[in-house]
A and B are shown apart, each in its own frame.
Chain A
Amino acid sequence: MQTPLYHEHVRLNAKMVDFHGWDMPVWYTGIKEEHLATRRHAGLFDVSHMGEITVSGEAAAPFLDRVLTRDIASMARGKALYTFLLNDAGGIIDDLIVYCLEPLTGYLLCVNSSNKDRDLAWMTGQNAEHALIRDMSEAYSMLALQGPAASAILRACLGFDDTGMRPFSFVVTDTPAYGELIVSKTGYTGAGGVEIFLDAGTAPALWHAFTRGGATPCGLGARDTLRLEMGYPLHGNDIDDTTTPLEAGLDFAVDLGKKGFIGEPALLAQKDRGITRRLAGLVVLDRGIPREHCRCLKDAREVGTVTSGSISPVSGKGIALAYVDARIKDGDELLVEVRDRTLLSVVTKPPFVPGTLQA
């Protein structure tokens, strides 16, 4: 599948890959350059592959309160929340952001493209409340404008001032040139900025406006290194339907007090028992890069497995997320097996670097 910006990516000579069925750019000029441009100035990402699902009707809030882990009914218009769809065992079917368009009756869910069909099937199967669930992914495109200069570029290109907006808030704004935009103070880079949902037809024009305004086109490669520097999990790597939010250290996105959501009994039981593994950050002291599936050793005993690993373009050090024995503490040293070597690493609570850097 191709996003509305496919021809733009090709024109920019991007290295393209098949990402869960989507032809997506991994990089245009290089991951490091794009990564640093985002931390220091502004990066522009085509994330139109993301899935958009609307849930509406009188039953919308009661239904979402049962399938999602946050308190949905109390959301005000213009508020967004990071949350999960869990299975009965408390495993993460998907992580997503829910946007309250209309309190109690209108919500937009932004889900991982690779999970969208599974999410839809799960929600439809659970929909005893008869909420109206619609896949809007074809109608919506999505751009992420991220970095310390994002506000200035938004102001210059759209006359839009986002400086008063709080993180995880959004506004719906009508523009003469690009139609209706949902501008959201969210992102996957830690660099600040916004994510914008818009009509697929006007996405290329807004993309051009932002690049002319000084934003650097960035591919999925930089998106991955940026999120890893912040310690943000990637579904399919660091979290999946066999790991729980408690094990992943994502308790903040679970309102255990609200009662009655799918997976809650399993999470309460796990909380009682105590977790046996946890998702930890690793910073490598030796020269080398940990990669997914590398084993972690302590005193010659296997104590964990890397789920995401790369090099931090900012620090030049190897960084990773790994599930480790829950008894392992931040500050402990581990060895990570990389091919025929082991790399000395320190268990470190992310973020691994500051989200924005001086230009």
Chain B
Amino acid sequence: MNIPEGLRYTKDHEWVRVEDGTVRMGITDYAQHELGDVVFVEIKPAGTQLKAGDAVGTVESVKAVSDVYAPVAGTVTEVNAELEASPELVNSDCYGRGWMAALTLASTPDLDALMDAAAYRAYLEQEAK
């Protein structure tokens, strides 16, 4: 399971990367693996204001559909348009070209509530039991 250092993680299996007042987000390797072949990704448009835990979109695989939640409060500033034509990037490169949205970071303390790589790994191991 690929869990890069330097990112923050949620219990719903989203990741965030802090980039100069904004955060970029997507779903984790574990999440894409559980979903299987991703065939549609729908993200709320730029300008949408979200509280932490609000649905920021949905990701759909052949088998299932699942909500994606905002890891932190903020406003959507950018949506990964490449996923419209190539949703499989979520499977092949979930931390890179498979990113889903960029959000303004409304409140830095939100980040402290998220897990680091080690804590997320421990969380996954716990969940597997």
Q: Interface of A with B (CB < 8 Å)?
A: 15, 26-27, 30-33, 221, 225, 287-289, 291, 310-311, 313, 316, 339
Known contacts A15-B36, A32-B37; is-contact A289 B65 (Cβ 8 Å): yes
Is A288's CB under 8 angstroms from B62's CB? no
Is B37's CB under 8 angstroms from A288's CB? no
Whole-angstrom distance between the Cβ of A226 and the nearest chain B Cβ: 11
Does B30 sit at the interface, judged by CB under 8 A? no
Cα distance, A30 to B60, chains bound together (Å): 14
Cα distance, A288 to B42, chains bound together (Å): 10
In the bound complex, residues from chain B placing their C-beta under 8 Å from that of A310 are 62-63
From A15, A32, A33, A313, residue with most partner B Cβ within 10 Å: A32
Known contacts A26-B63, A221-B62, A339-B58; is-contact A289 B40 (Cβ 8 Å): yes
Cα distance, A339 to B58, chains bound together (Å): 10
Does B68 sit at the interface, judged by CB under 8 A? no
- Chain B positions 40 through 70: 1 when the CB is less than 8 Å from some CB of chain A, otherwise 0: 1000000000000000001011110100000
Is A287's CB under 8 angstroms from B62's CB? no
Pick the contact of A31 from B34, B58, B62, B65 — CB < 8 Å? B62
Cα distance, A288 to B39, chains bound together (Å): 9
In the bound complex, residues from chain A placing their C-beta under 8 Å from that of B60 are 289
**Nearest A-chain residue to B58, judged by Cβ:** A339
**Nearest B-chain residue to A35, judged by Cβ:** B62
Known contacts A15-B33, A313-B62; 7 additional CB pairs below 8 A are: A15-B34, A30-B36, A30-B37, A31-B61, A32-B37, A221-B63, A289-B40
10 A-B residue pairings within 8 Å (CB atoms): A30-B36, A30-B37, A221-B63, A287-B40, A288-B40, A289-B39, A289-B65, A310-B63, A311-B40, A311-B62
**Nearest A-chain residue to B34, judged by Cβ:** A15
Nearest 3 CB-CB pairs, A to B? A31-B62, A32-B37, A30-B37
**Nearest B-chain residue to A291, judged by Cβ:** B65
- Chain B positions 5 through 41: 1 when the CB is less than 8 Å from some CB of chain A, otherwise 0: 0000000000000000000000000000110110110
In the bound complex, residues from chain A placing their C-beta under 8 Å from that of B63 are 26, 31, 221, 310
Number of interface residues of B (CB under 8 A): 13
Whole-angstrom distance between the Cβ of A315 and the nearest chain B Cβ: 12
Q: Interface of B with A (CB < 8 Å)?
A: 33-34, 36-37, 39-40, 58, 60-63, 65, 91
Cα distance, A27 to B65, chains bound together (Å): 17
Cα distance, A26 to B34, chains bound together (Å): 11
Cα distance, A32 to B58, chains bound together (Å): 20
In the bound complex, residues from chain A placing their C-beta under 8 Å from that of B65 are 289, 291, 339
Whole-angstrom distance between the Cβ of B33 and the nearest chain A Cβ: 8
Cα distance, A32 to B63, chains bound together (Å): 11
**Nearest B-chain residue to A316, judged by Cβ:** B39
Cα distance, A339 to B36, chains bound together (Å): 21
Cα distance, A313 to B36, chains bound together (Å): 13
Cα distance, A32 to B62, chains bound together (Å): 8
Cα distance, A266 to B118, chains bound together (Å): 64
Cα distance, A288 to B84, chains bound together (Å): 11
**Nearest B-chain residue to A31, judged by Cβ:** B62
Is B36's CB under 8 angstroms from A27's CB? yes
Cα distance, A23 to B63, chains bound together (Å): 17
In the bound complex, residues from chain B placing their C-beta under 8 Å from that of A27 are 36
Whole-angstrom distance between the Cβ of A331 and the nearest chain B Cβ: 26
Whole-angstrom distance between the Cβ of B112 and the nearest chain A Cβ: 33
Cα distance, A310 to B62, chains bound together (Å): 6
Cα distance, A291 to B60, chains bound together (Å): 11
Cα distance, A221 to B62, chains bound together (Å): 8
Cα distance, A310 to B34, chains bound together (Å): 17
**Nearest A-chain residue to B33, judged by Cβ:** A15
Pick the contact of A311 from B39, B58, B91 — CB < 8 Å? B39
In the bound complex, residues from chain B placing their C-beta under 8 Å from that of A339 are 58, 65
Cα distance, A33 to B58, chains bound together (Å): 23
In the bound complex, residues from chain A placing their C-beta under 8 Å from that of B58 are 339
Cα distance, A249 to B62, chains bound together (Å): 26
Cα distance, A291 to B39, chains bound together (Å): 14
Whole-angstrom distance between the Cβ of B69 and the nearest chain A Cβ: 15
In the bound complex, residues from chain B placing their C-beta under 8 Å from that of A289 are 39-40, 60, 65
Cα distance, A225 to B33, chains bound together (Å): 19
